[in-house]
Amino acid sequence: MRSQRSLSFPRMITCLAALCVAGISTDPSLAQVGKPEGLYYKSWAVVVGVENYLVAPKVPGALDSSHAMATALRGLGFDEVIELQDKDASSRRLLQILNDYLPRKVGRQDRVVFFFAGHAGVTQDSQSKDLGYVVPWDAQLNNPAKAITLDQLKEFSRRSASKHILMLFDANLRGWDVTAPQPLSLEGRLSPEDDTEKRSVQVLTAAEKEEAVGRIPGQSPFVTALVAGLKGAADLNKNGWVMASELAAQVKQDVERETKGAQHPQFIQLEGDGDVILIEGRKEMFSLGKEPSTEADRMKEARVQYEQAFALLQQQKSAEEALERLNRAITYDPSFGDAYVLKSYLRLEVLPNLEESLAAAQAAVQHAPQNPDSHYSLALALEKKGQHQEAERALLQTLAVNPAYTDVYFSLGTLYADHLNEPQKSIDAFRRYLELGGQSERATRAVQGDRAPGEKPTP
């Protein structure tokens, strides 16, 4: 049998009692769901669609695509969505927004999404490297004089105070000079705050270098995939959150399938090692990450979830979140005895549900019979259920596993005195409790009251 850390019942009861004293809400309606407080102060979007150029060729579908993106972002609760279509998307207007308006308005706790549908081009920089650019309404296709270059977009991202920026281009925009993205590692975190604060500037383009972007009336395949992802299709690990990296994976798959391999969207981590959050789920689910696939990974993740639940209780944080993590740990490893023990305590003392507490304790005894707390949790649930004889047997079994378990003798003493009408057994149990270092006044009074006149206390 796998080695398991035995929970100390006094530690756990102290922890659970502290939760009750601290007044942590156990009302499911008050659990933290939806947008975590303080995740973003404000969400900004600039949505650009240029279909009818002043001098460049027409881009069929650009307006429909930009309207669809603006609608999708408003549906996600973006506070300000600036739409620039055709002549409103002039070079001067775009530069004013990127260089002046957004840097003045956007705060450190904000997120920004920039979307562009239209022409893109490429020129050479001073070192003969590719330098991509997007073409505003009044610019020429092969003349970067009025274009918005990648250097200008990078400068915007550097000047922006926002912690999260996502740039989406329904175009083949190339020439990004970047380092390889770093993976987002969340394992072992007790809360998601640190990870949601990490700086992130990410880019998703519709095609790979040298590929042509298909232009059709209506929404482009790239935007169709984006909109579907923003409605939830990009939640690849089914944890209720949609990250930019997940959106990129889903869009790449959808576009490659829809275009029969003619377009391969590209995802770039331009700055930082965070991940832009597009759909915000339950706070406690953020750190779950990719679902474990192997048996070893499932057992490892079960331990992570259990440890985090235990820490939440120790730190007097959300009991609802602790319960959810315990349930997930049990799902990953149905033989995880410690998780059943902790769930039984939690359902007995903090989030009362006697039937669930009893069922968890019974499962703990089944899967971890050498853990004395398995039997102790069963005894407590049985006593509260009024099954006092069965509770006595469970307490005695606890002592068979650990004969020096101090608090079990106290529980036996109260059980014999209050429910089983066994006064001598009660005194004997209380005496053993005191011999092991217990300090309850009730036990002391019971033992002293039974002592003969002049008899010295037991050393």
> How much is the average pLDDT of 358-384?
95
**Rounded to whole angstroms, how far apart are CA atoms 318 and 312?**
7
Are β-strands 200-205 and 266-272 bridged in parallel, bridged antiparallel, or unpaired? antiparallel
Annotated domain spans of the chain: 9-32+288-401, 43-281, 404-459
Residue with tokens 């002043």: 54
How does residue 194 score in pLDDT terms, banded at 50, 70 and 90? low
Q: Give the mean model confidence (pLDDT) for residues 226-236.
A: 92
Classify 43-281 by CATH class: alpha beta
Mean predicted lDDT score pLDDT of the chain: 83
Q: What are 97-150's pLDDT values in tens digits?
A: 999 999 999 988 899 999 999 999 888 766 777 788 999 999 998 888 899 998
Q: Which residue has the higher pLDDT, 36 or 457?
A: 457
- pLDDT given for residue 190 in this prediction: 36
Cα angle 147, 149, 154; round to 5: 145
For 279, the enclosing helix (H) or strand (E) is strand 277-279
Q: What per-residue confidence (pLDDT) applies to 196?
A: 74
pTM: 0.57
Distance CA 399, CA 376 (A): 9
Q: Classify 293 as helix, strand or coil.
A: coil
Average pLDDT estimate for 339-360: 94
* Arithmetic mean of pLDDT, 255-262: 93
Q: What pLDDT score was predicted for residue 129? A: 77
Question: In the CATH scheme, what is the homologous superfamily, with its name and number, of domain 9-32+288-401?
Answer: Tetratricopeptide repeat domain (1.25.40.10)
User: Is residue 413 within 8 Å of residue 430, measured between CB atoms?
Assistant: yes
